[in-house]
Amino acid sequence: MREHTPGKKAFLVGITGMIGGGKSTAAKILQESGAFAIHADNLAKRYTSSESPILSELVELLGSEILDGDGNPDRKKISDVVFKDKEKLDGLNRLIHPRVRADFLKLLETEAAGKLVVWEVPLLFETDAYTLCDATVTVDSDEEASILRVMERDGMKKEEVLARISNQLPLSEKLKKADYIISNKGDLESLREECGRLYTTLSGRMS
């Protein structure tokens, strides 16, 4: 946790948790309260889209089997490749993460100066993203409920969800590293109350 100096600089809060654990919902609630929300996954999608500026690098790393019939990257095929091969997953992260970081810093400077910014990052602690933050938050959730949520939301098999979980820090470690913890083990209203209290605390640190 860094000491914030009031001024034009954004107050940056990194939020993470396990897949399907409710970090996107928490970020949305904090945004509704007045925070400026940025989602790392949304920034990353540019690099696996039909207009990807790194298409040739993706194909070189992962093979042409990641392309659809029109020659565009297919995110499902990319996931199928990288979550079965840690070396390729690490290579993909090395390709995309520095670019997402640069895009994020530009957005932070041009659109979020002086604001309380919630930055949703699945790999907040696995990468050095947390070092940019004034505060970090982990959303605590029930693992089985989170897995079921992802299976229903994304149409994935349980083993596919578990493969993704295995490539992240255990939730217990993310909880230990966080400055603040939000519980998402109750209903939506309980989560809203938790986020409301956190927003008040974080806003107070900006003054």
25 known member of a binding site: yes
Pairing of strands 180-183, 135-140: parallel
Count Cβ neighbours within 10 Å for each residue of 49-74 and write b for 16 or more, e otherwise: eeebebbeebbebbeeebbeeeeebb
Cα angle 160, 30, 201 (rounded to 5 degrees) comes to 120
20 known member of a binding site: yes
86 known member of a binding site: no
155 known member of a binding site: no
Count of positions (residues) in the chain: 207
CA-based radius of gyration for the chain: 18
Is the dihedral angle over the CA atoms 55, 58, 64, 69 positive or is it negative?
negative
52 known member of a binding site: no
**For helices 75-82 and 86-111, what crossing angle results, to 10°?**
130
63 known member of a binding site: no
Annotated binding site: 20-25
Annotated binding site for ATP: 20-25
